[in-house]
Structure 1
């Protein structure tokens, strides 16, 4: 009885959110996902948006304990794409019918204000494309310049709303500074997105509830949940992997709390894993963000990642068929 009443509440309390996140019975979880999917269809329509992800640099000035791109990971092969290569990849997405592009990198100051502005302007000038930036914490003047150049959204994950956990996983307490950046971005005219990592060491259901409520308080337009995956040659390489079902429940509960927000899920897109995206789209997510890198040549060696912008070497027709198959499913 309590589950049914909670699922039909319009304004969920922290206690309600924790209760839903702690559901263990497959039957109860199925009820949660069904309700979240219904709310998504009512608030966001049946449409699922496709976004193309361009990961153009794995250089990063941050030193997060869980991230393989952390500054002190000397085992990783670093790469940077040129501005023209980034533009070329974005145009590949456009040729596949994907009109939402996410430009993503670590905190890499090599890409300065002017270069990023040039990239944004060059992608937008001949097309009707929406650009989301995810470039870490930058300066206010940079945010303004990139907004003027044409970027509409900025994704800056807060990682965890628990200040103690934030300090533990980042070796310094900068959570409030990150929240200040999100508020700064909103003042600059961006639609803002944030989110957390699900399954971090020492994290609880109460922490995830606070993550969701922080997103509500900030009035964000996008909420992102990623699963904690231990990365080699990082301080957390031997930690336990985050639970996939916990991520699914977090997305579902977030949909009940943040009814109008965009909630993405991510896949590395190829013909073998279309179902990976499908299973996350029945729990409240309304965006499928696809990374085509694995479909493109020379990406196994990051030193040669640049040539994957060469459209002539890509079987675009096959990619279009695969994406059309997914679109058909999403429309059903």
Structure 2
């Protein structure tokens, strides 16, 4: 699709045909299976000052924490025992993060079970990314949020599109299943910018693409703005599926922050992944990127079971597989026969 065609779909009067097409494509590739990723948000310390994020370093209202290795591994084992095929280790962009600490955690998880390990730890150098890959990390998530240089620079002070893209290229070259994504409805974002963002995102060699709505956090410079549109986010999700039939697309937790059944609506729009938090309930609420994120006070196990129940009620099958992207399977076969 061209940028002009994407923009036309984003502005169209009706979206039912779009959603139906995205569902048909998703079903042809994944059936009714939904891959489950358990997210351990082990630290909310962050050196960045992104204007939309509650973890920004200048937010003095958040109580900072960092879990020890035993707590992280306990949460990961609970997720695995509940049938989740991927563990996601996520934190703020912490300048004090010890690469060796993460490496040992990855190795311990891989020794416990045959699962995938995804990292979402922000900006690091090639040597660090390579070390984690050598320790067994399978995937890395590094969201662009927007490709618009002016908007990116304004909302992510001291950061640039080119630097972010360079890191994504590094991750791909190291053999990670790389993931990225966008935030719809950011203050200053127009449909034209979103259309360009979706087009550029689809040009990258990604295995996972996420689209989530902007949710204003009261302790950020953008706290007074309106939240992003659910309808626009769902249309963007469907467009990602149509343009990238084999990538993994999560129904993001931000959708649930807008409406109670947001994740189900995301799946109906073409998504095929859910990523419930398995962060210990004692600190879960402090990982507050936006209001409504991690609002549950239930135990790790109960949180996962509730998500699985929602999937089944909606007619989906919670998959316990590692959930590798079919696109990656194709790439691996091509490398084998090269």
Shared fold per TM-score greater than 0.5 = yes
Q: 2:249 aligns with which of 241, 254, 263?
A: 263
Cα distance change on mapping 1:143 and 1:130 into 2, 3 Å: same
- 1:14 maps to 2:14: no
CA distance in 2, matches of 1:318, 1:154: 24
Match runs of 1:285-324 below 5 Å: 285-293=271-279, 297-299=281-283, 302=286, 314=299, 316=301, 320=305, 323-324=308-309
Q: Which residue of 2 aligns with 1:227?
A: 213
User: Aligned partners of 2:310 and 2:147: how far apart in 1?
Assistant: 38
Q: Distance in 1 between matches of 2:185 and 2:308?
A: 30
TM-score, length-scaled by structure 2? 0.84
Distance 1:205 1:84 in 2: 45
Aligned to 2:163: 177
TM-score by length of 1: 0.85
Output the CA distance in 1 between the equivalents of 2:285 and 2:305.
25
Q: Which moved more, 1:41-50 or 1:241-250?
A: 41-50
Structure 1 residues 318, 216: CA separation in 2 closer, same or farther (over 3 Å shift)? closer
Cα distance in 1 between the residues matched to 2:107 and 2:191? 42
Q: Secondary structure at the match of 2:221?
A: coil
Task: Please give the residue correspondences for 1:206-285 in structure 2 after superposition, counting only pairs within 5 Å.
Answer: 206-267=192-253, 275-285=261-271
For structure 1, the residue ranges without an aligned partner over 5 or more in a row are: 1-11, 304-312
Contact 2:281 2:300 in 1 (8 A): no
| Contact 1:267/1:291 (8 A) holds in 2 | no
Partner of 1:135: 121
Which of 177, 180, 183 is 1:191 aligned to?
A: 177
What's the offset of the Cα at 1:186? 0.7
Unmatched runs of 5 consecutive residues or more in structure 2: 288-297, 319-338
Shift in Å, 1:322: 5.8
Residue number in structure 1 paired with 2:311: 326
CA deviation profile, 1:60-94 (whole Å, cap 9, x unmatched): 00011111111111111111111221111011101
Q: Cα RMSD (Å) of the superposition? A: 2.5
Larger Rg: 1
Specify whether residues 240 and 318 from structure 1 end up closer, same or farther in structure 2 by C-alpha distance, changes over 3 A only. closer
Distance 1:235 1:195 in 2: 22
Q: Report runs of 4+ in structure 1 exceeding 6 Å deviation.
A: none
- Measured after TM superposition, the shift of residue 326 of structure 1 is 2.5
Cα distance in 1 for residues equivalent to 2:176 and 2:243: 22
Q: Are the counterparts in 2 of residues 163 and 173 from structure 1 also a CA contact under 8 Å?
A: no
CA contact (8 A) 1:164 1:173 kept: no
